[in-house]
Amino acid sequence: MNDLKITGYRIFVPDVATALPFYRDLLSLPVRAVADDGGFAVLDAGIMLILEPVGDDPNLTRRFTGVSFEVADITAAYQELRGKGVEFADGPHMQEWGGKLAHFMDPGGNTLTIVEYPTR
């Protein structure tokens, strides 16, 4: 099973139509597909990010997703996203392993991360 790889990640949102502009316009992720009935949206972030409505389980949203977006300059990315109105839980901060992280929220309250890895 050496051919296993992650090709997609599902993020649950209260409403796909509300979340889509955030991911498409503010994060500048290309849209690959959108269901006519609002049942899902697929965006290209190096892997497919699949936005799905939360349905009857509100516990699937407003949580830490574990999704990290790599950026070359975290300070510039942080300032750009804040300028677009993206809400951050914290500013860029150094990690023990030498990189920097900052956490931000999507419209459904899900936490995402931008990360700058240390140069080698």
In whole angstroms, give the CA distance from residue 44 to residue 24: 9
Please name the fold of domain 8-116.
2,3-Dihydroxybiphenyl 1,2-Dioxygenase; domain 1 (3.10.180)
Token pair in block for residue 103: 């956490």
Is the confidence at residue 58, as pLDDT, over 90? no
Query: On the CB side of 103, how many CA atoms lie within 13 Å of its CA?
Result: 10
Instruction: List, for residues 11-41, the tens digit of each pLDDT value.
Output: 999 999 999 999 999 999 999 999 999 899 9
Domains of the chain, by residue range, sit at 8-116
The partner residues of 13 in beta bridges, in order of sequence, read 53
Helix ranges, the chain (H): 16-21, 74-83
pLDDT at position 110: 95
Residue 1 has pLDDT above 70, yes or no: no
Instruction: Concatenate the DSSP letters of all residues of 99-114 into one string.
Output: -EEEEEE-TT--EEEE
Tens of pLDDT, residue by residue over 90-112, are 999 999 999 999 999 999 999 99
pTM confidence score: 0.89
Q: What's the confidence (pLDDT) of residue 56?
A: 78
